[in-house]
């Protein structure tokens, strides 16, 4: 029974951490020749040199997936983070905790001289593998455009975690970097792993083939328990404290509707076959007491060019109805799929009942975490075209558009949003240390500024 059929309960999709815990078996490194792909490999033995920039949970998970690929030898040779303790914790995890299941420790070669700490650490890690290496970008999304630009400039292939920017100027930088990568024949993958989940790919293909008729409406849900908050028990500077809690600050992660709901926004637009032209929305803080910037609920109505709608709900509150999925209605049927749904289902009619199922996947969503890396590294080795930058930027812009509409209380068009020059944190390149002033500061009660619909300006 799907989460939509139950209409309650916790999300059923394994997280990346769950995937790592469940991963098993030895992974053999089989060298293959790809002499036709110039500058792909940094060594004559065809080993692809990897660098990890951002060593938290997302980054460590990406490193495991890259090291578990089987198409040829890979080696992690450089790591970078603004926090040394996080870098060392990730390195210890990759060397010890994962080894019994994935046999990846032998592929980790990061001596002290290639462990870089600080706001310029990304440059040093990328330089250590440039050109022709592959960098995994997994810092808070605010820094993604800066790091992507430098990786492309230095001739490196890229895996970049979602989200990919936090404001329209950042999206435009990502788009320009993607175009530059195309000209340089560099390969770029983005962490919207649902696009590489075979059961979901099949489900979307069947919808595109007309199994449920014309797509009329779509709903994207991410409603679950509250986002956590870490007090400053490590006595960090204000900037360090905010980066440690990046999910709680709009300038760092772009808001809950962007960084958490992005997968199912992307899936809904994939099903629809395009991106919205406008959005109007509601959102605010109703029960949340943590002193951060988070709205605890969002409701965004996106409009497509043909007049059809996508409704997105984002909520993180305790003791409330939970759902993590996309629900699609067509003129002849419906579907329940997306992130949070292990086995996509397609129904005749609009009632998601077992007797109405006309197609059901028996696959597992978790394979997508590994597959996105397998596809990227295969493209690097075989010198095949591979650049997901544009799609990733458009999915990001969809989330940003929803946030802008909710924070302002206005209907905003896609075009005016994308043209906006308003930055959430101007001058990030100038930050040299954790002593730098943070882009937002708490008031006398220790609370941070929160957007006010009808008052906040977003354009």
User: Are 189 and 148 a contacting pair, CB within 8 Å?
Assistant: no
Q: Is residue 450 part of a domain?
A: no
Q: What is the pLDDT of residue 145?
A: 98
pTM (2 d.p.): 0.90
Give dist(CA 28, CA 30) in Å, integer: 6
Q: Do 100 and 240 sit in the same domain of this protein?
A: no
Q: How far apart, in whole angstroms, are the C-alpha atoms of residue 290 and residue 133?
A: 41
How far, in Å, CA of 173 to CA of 393, rounded?
9
Work out the widest C-alpha separation in the chain, in whole angstroms: 62
Q: What's the pLDDT band for 232 if we cut at 50, 70, 90?
A: very high
pLDDT-derived band at 103 (thresholds 50, 70, 90) equals confident
Query: Does residue 27 have a pLDDT over 70?
Result: no
Asked whether the predicted pLDDT for residue 29 surpasses 80, the reply is: no
Q: Is residue 189 domain-shared with residue 239, that is, in the same domain?
A: no
Sort residue 365 into left (φ over 0), alpha (ψ -120 to 50) or beta: alpha
Question: Residue 418: which pLDDT band, with cuts at 50, 70 and 90?
Answer: very high
At residue 42, does pLDDT exceed 80?
A: no
- High-pLDDT (> 90) share of the chain, %: 85
* pLDDT digits 0-9 by tens, 307-339: 999 999 999 999 999 999 999 999 999 999 999
**Token pair listed for 29:** 């490194």
Question: Which candidate, 3, 5, 103, places its Cα nearest to that of 355?
Answer: 5
What confidence tier does 12 reach under pLDDT thresholds 50, 70, 90?
very low
- Whether residue 111 is contained in a domain is answered as yes
Q: Is residue 441 part of a domain?
A: no
β-strand partners of 83: none
Does a structural domain hold residue 422?
Answer: yes
Reply yes or no on whether the pLDDT at 8 is more than 50. no
Which residue in 157, 450, 410, 396 sits closest to 261, CA to CA?
A: 396
CATH code where residue 159 lies: 3.40.50.720
| Average pLDDT, integer, range 414-439 | 97
| Same domain? 179 vs 237 | no
Q: Is the pLDDT of residue 24 over 50?
A: no
What pLDDT sits at residue 108?
A: 96
Of 12 and 324, the one with more pLDDT? 324
pLDDT-derived band at 96 (thresholds 50, 70, 90) equals confident
In a domain, 333, yes or no: yes
CATH number at residue 263: 3.30.360.10
β-pair type (278-284, 333-337): unpaired
> Given a cut of 70, is residue 21 above it in pLDDT?
no
**155, pLDDT greater than 80:** yes
Query: What are the structure tokens assigned to 130, written together?
Result: 């440039």
Give the H/E segment covering residue 309. Answer: strand 309-316
Is 353 found in the same domain as 297? yes
Please give the distance of CA 318 from its chain centroid, rounded to a whole number: 24
Q: Are residues 37 and 67 in the same domain?
A: yes
Residues 27, 176, single domain; the answer is yes
> 340 is in which domain, residue-wise?
197-365+397-430
Instruction: Say yes or no: 145 and 59 in one domain.
Output: yes
Domain membership of residue 3 (yes or no) is: no
Same domain, residue pair 289 and 401: yes
Q: How many domains does the chain have?
A: 2
The verdict on 217 and 147 lying in the same domain is no
pLDDT (average), residues 445-456:
96
Residue range 139-162: mean pLDDT, rounded: 98
Task: Indicate whether 455 pLDDT > 80.
Answer: yes
pLDDT at 347 over 50: yes
Give 406: exposed, middle or buried? Use CB within 10 Å, 0-12, 13-18, 19+.
buried
Q: What are phi and psi of 69, to 5 degrees?
A: -65, 150
Tens digits of residue pLDDT in 168-224: 999 999 999 999 999 999 999 999 999 999 999 999 999 999 999 999 999 999 999
Q: Are residues 163 and 260 in the same domain?
A: no
- Report cis status (omega within 30 of 0) of the bond before 377: no
pLDDT at 39 over 80: no
pLDDT confidence of residue 391: 98
Q: Do 315 and 262 belong to one domain?
A: yes
The answer to whether residue 322 is domain-embedded is yes
Mean pLDDT of all residues belonging to the chain: 90
Rounded Cα distance, 379 and 421, in Å: 35
436 within a domain of the structure (yes/no): no
- How far is the C-alpha of 146 from the C-alpha of 122, rounded, in Å? 10
> What is the per-residue pLDDT for 167?
98
Q: Hey, what are 429's tokens?
A: 């390149």
The pLDDT value given to residue 361: 86
68 & 137 share domain? yes
User: pLDDT value at position 99?
Assistant: 57
What's the average model confidence in pLDDT over 95-116? 85
Q: Kind and range of the H or E element at 170?
A: helix 168-184
Q: Mean pLDDT over residues 65-73, rounded?
A: 94
Q: Is the pLDDT of residue 20 over 70?
A: no
The larger pLDDT score, comparing residue 97 to residue 430, is at 430
């Amino acid at each position: 029974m799907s989460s939509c059929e139950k209409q309650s309960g916790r999300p059923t999709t394994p997280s990346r951490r769950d995937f790592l815990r469940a991963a098993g078996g030895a992974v053999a490194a089989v060298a293959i020749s790809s002499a036709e792909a110039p500058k792909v490999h940094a060594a004559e033995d065809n080993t692809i040199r990897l660098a990890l920039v951002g060593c938290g949970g997302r980054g460590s998970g990406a490193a495991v997936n890259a090291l578990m690929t089987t198409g040829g030898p890979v080696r992690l040779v450089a790591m970078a983070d603004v926090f040394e303790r996080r870098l060392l914790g990730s390195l210890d995890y990759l060397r010890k905790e994962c080894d019994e299941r994935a046999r990846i420790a032998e592929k980790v070669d990061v001596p002290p001289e290639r462990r870089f700490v600080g706001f310029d650490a990304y440059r040093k890690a990328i330089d250590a593998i440039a050109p022709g290496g592959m960098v995994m970008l997994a810092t808070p999304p605010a820094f993604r455009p800066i790091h992507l630009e430098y990786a492309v400039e230095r001739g490196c292939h890229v895996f970049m975690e979602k989200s990919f920017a936090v404001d329209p100027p950042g999206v435009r930088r990502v788009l320009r970097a993607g175009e530059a990568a195309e000209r340089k024949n560099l390969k770029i993958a983005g962490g919207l792993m649902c696009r590489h989940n075979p059961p979901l790919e099949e489900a979307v293909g069947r919808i595109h083939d007309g199994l449920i008729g014309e797509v009329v409406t779509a709903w994207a849900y991410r409603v679950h328990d509250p986002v956590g908050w870490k007090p400053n028990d490590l006595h960090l500077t204000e900037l360090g404290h905010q980066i440690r809690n990046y999910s709680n600050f709009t300038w760092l992660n772009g808001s809950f509707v962007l960084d958490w709901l992005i997968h199912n926004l992307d899936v809904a637009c994939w099903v629809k076959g395009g991106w919205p032209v406008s959005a109007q929305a509601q959102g605010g803080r109703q029960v949340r007491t943590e002193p951060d910037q988070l709205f605890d609920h969002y409701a965004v109505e996106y409009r497509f060019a043909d007049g059809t709608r996508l409704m997105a709900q984002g909520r993180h509150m305790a003791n409330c109805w939970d759902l993590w999925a996309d629900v699609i209605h067509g003129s002849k049927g419906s579907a329940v799929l997306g992130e949070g749904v292990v086995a996509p289902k397609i129904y005749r009619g609009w009632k998601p009942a077992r007797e109405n199922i006309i197609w059901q996947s028996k696959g597992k969503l978790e394979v997508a975490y590994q597959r996105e890396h397998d596809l990227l590294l295969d493209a690097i080795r075989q010198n095949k075209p591979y650049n997901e930058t544009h799609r990733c930027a458009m999915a990001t812009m969809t989330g940003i558009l929803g946030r802008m509409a909710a924070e302002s209380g206005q209907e905003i068009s896609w075009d005016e949003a994308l043209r906006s020059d308003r930055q959430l944190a101007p001058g990030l390149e100038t930050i040299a240390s954790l002593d730098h002033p943070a882009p937002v500061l708490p008031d006398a009660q220790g609370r941070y500024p929160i957007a006010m619909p009808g008052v906040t300006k977003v354009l």
